[in-house]
Amino acid sequence: MSARRCFAALLALAAGVLMATAGGPAAAQPPGKGPPAGKGPQAGKGKAGDPAFAADRDGFHYLLEHRKDIRRTVKDVNGGVVTLTESDDPAVAGKIREHVSAMHARVKTGNGVHYRDPLFAEIFRHYDKITMTVERTPKGAKVTETSADPYVAKLIQAHALVVTKFIENGHAEVMKNHPLPAAPAPARKQP
């Protein structure tokens, strides 16, 4: 599969995640299925109506193509993760910072990507429960992503691991669907 098609699939998955997180029609669909084109709450923000889509897709593909030049660490913290993604190649480091900035903007607005993957659809469905801070480093970016909601914290941790798998496995990993973590059991009422 071409890099262009893989990136398009990733962005479609993320878009589905964002639509699902907004509680729109995607939330009622089975995992991996989004609303019909133009029917979700993010209608008009997808490929055709999203001026950042092409740049975000191209940046993501660039990073996949240069994944051997990328180092990434993920540390689980209370409520989420701290990630450090860097490269000794200045061009790759710059693309890391661009990509992180673009994804930060998408999390803040709920305008997600890669909705065909159930994990991305679910995390963007809860975008309003995510706190994300980005720190530029000389070689990339450090991101702290947390939530006070225990389920969303698990989603954040699962997403961080999948992004690491993207770097390890490239396009083959992007094309996979990734499972959702188990939701916390509801609290029992005392008799």
Determine the Cα–Cα distance for residues 155 and 119; give it in Å rounded to an integer. Answer: 7
pTM: 0.73
Is residue 52, in this structure, part of any structural domain at all?
yes
Domain count, the chain: 1
Taking 50 as the pLDDT cut, the residues of the chain under it are 3-46
Residue 30: the pLDDT is 40
Is residue 184, in this structure, part of any structural domain at all?
no
Is residue 190, in this structure, part of any structural domain at all?
no
Q: Is 75 helix (H, G, I), strand (E, B) or coil?
A: strand
Residue 49: the pLDDT is 72
- Residue 3's CB: how many other CB atoms inside 10 A? 17
pLDDT tens for each residue of 60-78: 999 999 999 999 999 999 9
Kind plus residue range of the DSSP H or E element containing 135: strand 131-137
Is residue 64, in this structure, part of any structural domain at all?
yes
Is residue 186, in this structure, part of any structural domain at all?
no
Domain housing 85? 3-174
Is residue 43, in this structure, part of any structural domain at all?
yes
